[in-house]
Amino acid sequence: MAGDLYHNARIATLDGPDLGLIEGGAVLVRDGRIAWVGAMADLPPDHAGAARHDLDGRLVTPAPIDCHTHLVHGGDRAREFEMRLQGASYEQIARAGGGILSTVAATRAATEDELVRQALPRLDALIAEGVATVEIKSGYGLDRDAELTMLRAARRLGTLRPVRVRTSFLGAHACPPEYAGRPDAYLDEICLPTLRAAHAEGLVDAVDGFCEGIAFTPHQIARVFDAARGLGLPVKLHAEQLSHQGGTALAALHGALSADHVEYATEADAVMMAASGTVAVLLPGAFYTLHETQVPPIAAFRAHGVAMALSTDCNPGTSPLTSILLTMNMGCTLFRLTPAEALRGVTVNAARALGLDDCGRIAPGLRADLAVWDVADPAELAWRIGFNPLHRRIFGESE
């Protein structure tokens, strides 16, 4: 009952418009929740009995949240990487049957156990940098059995490691080869029935789609969103990654939790996102991997008050990235976010992108998902490249 008191820390609570820094701070954790946070000098006497842990002046932040991943997938795409280095574009490879569809073949060929085994090292890499919540999408099965297997594997990961997994159904990721040229039939006959089956099995926390020239049109995505609404599920969308298709506006009109990538989004899109509270999830790993040059409209997002999150987009094709810290660095270097925006992007705004209000900040009543860093200044987290200063991670109770 007395709990654990982590003291002698600099605390970035992220609770409020800025970083919410507390010097000489302490956090009291009880039953996996934050019971109290503040300056040690203000500790109420009735909390004095807690077990004390001296953090030697280290920085405490909310544990990072990776809010957009395709962590569960079969196989690798190293060969495609080589082809792209020789000049083939991502879209050329996709249209030639490579790209996403090669991962679909490898994922269909894998059992649930194999998918779990292949995903665990990637999950462990994220956890080693303090990540406590990770979103995992389906979308490499594209038939009923393989989509359900992916989602079961994702759920299982959350039981094998001290991490919270949120799943997104991404049946509308690509049109599978057996439905080539018949995307509407794929939606009617496979994607939407599979969504209902996955939901009935408790495997879906949100519904996602890929709105792009090489994937689905806004009109087709709207049908997926209508089905999600019928099931009471929140929606999000891969939008405006390679071209402007109108997906962001559609997502905002459907009250989406997030619109992700958004390199080609416009100021008008930003206005709509602000009105609907849709978070812009920025994925600099994909931008980097594809040698993209179109930077998301960061100034418009700032001007209109659109919350910006950052995520790895961990996937075998366009973002084979399993470092939330490098993602923060890329957000600053490639997209000119401030280090404070990058930290907000992997904590409070990443929680919003998942529709979670019990994590991503350090405040009484929230989950005690905390990261203790061997740094003095929060900006150091985004500054270094390839260095992990995590001292320890504290994980709140499992669900």
Under a CB-based contact definition with an 8 Å cutoff, are residues 288 and 330 in contact? yes
Residue 77 beta carbon to ligand DI6: minimum distance, rounded to whole angstroms: 7
Q: Does residue 331 bind ligand DI6 (CB under 6 A)? A: no
Shortest Cβ distance from residue 294 to ligand DI6 (Å)? Answer: 14
**Could you say whether residue 313 binds Fe ion (CB under 5 A)?**
yes
User: Angle, nearest 10°, between helix axes 144-160 and 100-108?
Assistant: 80
By CB under 6 A, tell whether 317 contacts ligand DI6.
Answer: yes
Residue found under tokens 């359900």: 148
Span near ligand DI6 by CB under 6 A; candidates 119-127, 272-280, 297-305, 312-320? 312-320
Q: State the Cα–Cα distance between residues 371 and 354, nearest whole angstrom.
A: 19
Site for ligand DI6 in 224-253 (CB under 6 A): 238, 241
Q: Which of the listed partners (ligand DI6, Fe ion, none) does 317 bind, with a CB threshold of 5 to 8 Å by partner kind?
A: ligand DI6
- Binding of residue 69 to ligand DI6 (CB under 6 A): no
CA–CA dist 129, 123 (Å, integer): 10
Size of the site for Fe ion (CB under 5 A): 1
Interacting positions 82-121 with ligand DI6 (CB under 6 A):
99-100, 103
# chain residues binding ligand DI6, by CB under 6 A: 13
In angstroms, the CA 90 to CA 183 distance is 20
From the list 78-86, 289-297, 301-309, 313-321, the region that binds Fe ion by CB under 5 A is: 313-321
**Nearest alpha-carbon partner for 317 in 68, 93, 67, 77:** 77
* 359 contact partners, CB below 8 Å, separation of at least 6: 62, 63, 65, 132, 133, 164, 351, 366, 367, 369, 396
Q: Which is nearer to ligand DI6, 335 or 373 (CB)?
A: 335
Three-class secondary structure of residue 7 per DSSP? strand
CB of 320 to ligand DI6, least distance (A): 10
Q: Does 210 bind ligand DI6 (CB under 6 A)?
A: yes
Residues contacting 373, CB < 8 A, separation 6+: 58, 59, 60, 61, 130, 380, 381, 389, 390, 391
Which of Fe ion, ligand DI6, none interacts with 103 (beta carbon under 5 to 8 A by kind)? ligand DI6
| Residue number with the smallest Cβ distance to Fe ion | 313
φ/ψ region of 99 (left if φ > 0, alpha if ψ in -120 to 50, else beta) reads left
Contacting positions for ligand DI6 (CB under 6 A): 99-100, 103, 173, 210, 238, 241, 286, 313, 315-318
